[in-house]
């Protein structure tokens, strides 16, 4: 929270944090219901290994391993970046960490693909699952950060509550 906030601003910050937490709870409940109803034995394979659900139904499993972490990290990034000041250094740190994570996931995927090609590893569904969920996480963070800056929910709602005109922040983030 920024210093010098009005009581309306503090209350709005708390409400938006609560809404973000509720959205994460709803996200988890909806995905667990999808897993339970879409896979055999109420999704038991998912809880053992995400790669196992791809053996059961590849395309539905791939959808799950990309969309679940993407939506989770979209909610986390959007809520977090909505509630903190939009400073250039914050976005640079998040960008660097996201790029490092993407490089790590792609490195893991390339080494395991090479092992699959050489015949020293035989669980291709697990590799696809790990790499696709990693890419989903990166997409979620990028889209969530973009939405947080573009929507500026806190700024707009704070202007409405304080009955002041909305002034868009000048973002020179990159």
* Structural domain spans, the chain: 7-161
Average pLDDT over residues 138-157: 88
Percent of the chain with pLDDT over 70: 95
Three-class DSSP category at 5: coil
Average pLDDT value over all residues in the chain: 86
Which residue from 24, 133, 25, 11 is spatially nearest to 74, judged by alpha carbons? 24
Average pLDDT over residues 138-166: 86
DSSP conformation class of 41: G
pLDDT surpasses 70 at 135: yes
- What pTM was computed for the model? 0.84
pLDDT surpasses 80 at 14: yes
| Helices within the chain (DSSP H only) | 7-38, 44-48, 50-56, 58-83, 88-118, 124-151, 153-161
DSSP conformation class of 84: S
Band of residue 170 on the pLDDT scale cut at 50, 70, 90? low
Band of residue 172 on the pLDDT scale cut at 50, 70, 90? low
Distance CA 130, CA 138 (A): 13
- Residue 119 to residues 23, 48, 126: CA-CA distances in angstroms? 43, 24, 15
pLDDT surpasses 80 at 1: no
């Amino acid at each position: 929270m920024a210093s010098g906030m009005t009581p309306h601003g503090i209350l709005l910050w708390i409400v938006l944090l609560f809404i973000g937490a509720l959205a994460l709870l709803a996200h988890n409940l909806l995905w667990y219901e999808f897993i339970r109803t879409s896979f055999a034995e109420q999704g038991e394979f998912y809880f053992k290994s995400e790669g196992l659900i791809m053996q059961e139904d590849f395309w539905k499993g791939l959808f799950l391993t990309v969309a679940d972490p993407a939506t989770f990290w979209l909610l986390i990034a959007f809520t977090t970046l909505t509630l903190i000041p939009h400073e250039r250094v914050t976005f640079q740190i998040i960008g660097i960490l996201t790029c490092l994570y993407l490089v790590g996931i792609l490195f893991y995927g390339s080494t395991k693909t090479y092992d699959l090609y050489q015949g020293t590893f035989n669980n291709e569904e697990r590799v696809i699952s790990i790499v696709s969920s990693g890419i989903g996480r990166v997409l979620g963070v990028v889209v969530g950060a973009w939405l947080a800056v573009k929507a500026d929910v806190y700024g707009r709602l704070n202007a409405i509550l304080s009955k002041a005109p909305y002034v868009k922040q000048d973002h020179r983030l990159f």
